[in-house]
């Protein structure tokens, strides 16, 4: 294929595959915890890390990782102790992170808001070899956590009180989930962009849930869908000269709509089969005749 003849597209496709794996892998736990927009908030905070990277002449990816992890930990602390003021504190954290990114990048030598564009919305041509190295290492961490601790993370995501009773370190696992989400955001920002990464963490999971009921099947289908749309969006972006992040997200939403349409008759068929199974399973003597009233039931 012509597309593989270019080194920058090889790097972009590798990064796209890793993003397609990691984003739904952590997103499934966020959806279960009803924290679907957590990735969006971390993306705002990560902008400060990108700006600091330019200001200090360090790798924006690694600096964004550090700042995102600190922001994610702070978000969890606010969730635990924030009480009624927690939403205000989170709003200040999110918007402060965005403002800090813009300010730092403008203070950097030769910096301008144009430098943020590739990090906000993704860019194929700017994925460097150092970016690929960082993305590979960070993606390995995300996969190890989301697959290696899937039973524990699932238990905490479903019912924190039950998980605590069974002896699981709930707060430590919550922190680990937040940190893993932060790492995933920085993995995806070069391909999808900080402002769009949350969609890739949530929509494939929601699409997979249209077809499946089990956690394992939802996990597998959402990851497969994530890889498919990231590769498809990257290739489309190359040939049609359109933004990769927007293309990937639109493909993901299109897949969700398609699966929702296909799942509707399947859900009706399952409902009819379940109703038929229940009706045949009930013994005849357990059925209450329609002509009997309450007085008959109590022997009057």
pLDDT in tens, the chain (300 residues): 678 888 888 888 999 999 999 999 999 999 888 887 788 888 889 999 998 988 888 888 899 999 999 998 988 888 777 655 567 777 888 888 889 888 888 888 866 666 677 788 887 777 888 888 989 999 999 999 999 999 999 999 888 888 888 889 988 999 999 999 999 998 888 888 888 888 999 999 999 988 887 889 999 999 999 999 999 999 998 888 888 888 999 999 999 999 888 887 766 776 676 677 776 655 554 444 444 443 344 343
Structure tokens at 300: 């009057």
Query: What is residue 280's predicted lDDT score, i.e. its pLDDT?
Result: 66
Residue 269 half-sphere exposure toward CB, CA atoms < 13 A: 6
Query: What is residue 112's predicted lDDT score, i.e. its pLDDT?
Result: 65
In whole angstroms, what is the distance from residue 118 CA to residue 127 CA? 9
In whole angstroms, what is the distance from residue 8 CA to residue 177 CA? 32
Q: What is residue 33's three-state secondary structure?
A: coil
Query: What is residue 138's predicted lDDT score, i.e. its pLDDT?
Result: 92
Q: Between the CA of residue 172 and those of 65, 92, 152, 165, what are the distances in Å?
A: 19, 25, 11, 15
Cβ neighbours of residue 282 under 8 Å, at least 6 residues apart? none
Query: What is residue 182's predicted lDDT score, i.e. its pLDDT?
Result: 92
Query: What is residue 298's predicted lDDT score, i.e. its pLDDT?
Result: 38
Exposed, middle or buried by CB within 10 Å (0-12, 13-18, 19+), for 32? middle
Asked if residue 223 lies in contact with residue 25, where contact means CB atoms within 8 angstroms, the answer is yes
Residue closest to 105 by CA, chosen among 93, 117, 95: 117
Residue at token pair 């200040």: 92
Exposed, middle or buried by CB within 10 Å (0-12, 13-18, 19+), for 51? buried
Structure tokens at 267: 């859900």
Query: What is residue 26's predicted lDDT score, i.e. its pLDDT?
Result: 93
Asked if residue 30 lies in contact with residue 39, where contact means CB atoms within 8 angstroms, the answer is yes
Residue 70 half-sphere exposure toward CB, CA atoms < 13 A: 13
Would you give the DSSP letter of residue 115?
Answer: G
Longest CA pairwise span in the chain (Å): 93
pTM above 0.85, yes or no: no
Residue at token pair 């003849």: 5
Query: What is residue 265's predicted lDDT score, i.e. its pLDDT?
Result: 75
């Amino acid at each position: 294929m012509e597309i593989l003849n270019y080194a920058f597209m090889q790097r972009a496709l590798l990064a796209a595959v890793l993003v397609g794996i990691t984003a739904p892998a952590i997103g499934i736990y966020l959806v279960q915890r009803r924290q679907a927009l957590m990735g969006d908030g971390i993306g705002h905070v990560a902008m400060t890390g990108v700006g600091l990277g330019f200001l200090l002449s360090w790798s924006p990816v690694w600096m964004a990782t550090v700042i995102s992890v600190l922001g994610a930990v702070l978000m969890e602390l606010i969730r635990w102790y924030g009480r009624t003021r927690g939403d205000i504190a989170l709003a200040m954290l999110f918007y402060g992170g965005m403002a800090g990114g813009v300010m730092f990048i403008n203070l950097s030598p030769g910096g301008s808001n144009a430098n943020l564009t590739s990090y906000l919305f993704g860019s194929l041509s700017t994925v460097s070899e150092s970016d690929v190295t960082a993305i590979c290492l960070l993606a390995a961490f995300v996969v190890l956590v989301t697959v290696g601790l899937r039973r524990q993370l699932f238990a905490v995501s479903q019912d924190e009180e039950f998980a605590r009773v069974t002896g699981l370190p709930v707060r430590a696992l919550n922190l680990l989930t937040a940190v893993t989400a932060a790492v995933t955001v920085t993995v995806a920002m070069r391909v999808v962009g900080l402002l769009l990464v949350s969609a890739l963490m949530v929509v494939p999971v929601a699409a997979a849930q249209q077809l499946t009921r089990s956690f394992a099947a939802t996990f597998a289908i959402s990851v497969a869908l994530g890889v498919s749309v990231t590769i498809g969006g990257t290739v489309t972006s190359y040939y049609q000269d359109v933004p990769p992040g927007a293309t990937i997200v639109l493909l993901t939403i299109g897949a969700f709509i398609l699966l929702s349409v296909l799942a509707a008759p399947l859900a009706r068929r399952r409902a009819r089969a379940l109703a038929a199974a229940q009706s045949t399973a009930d013994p005849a003597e357990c059925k209450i005749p329609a002509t009997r009233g309450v007085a008959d039931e109590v022997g009057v």
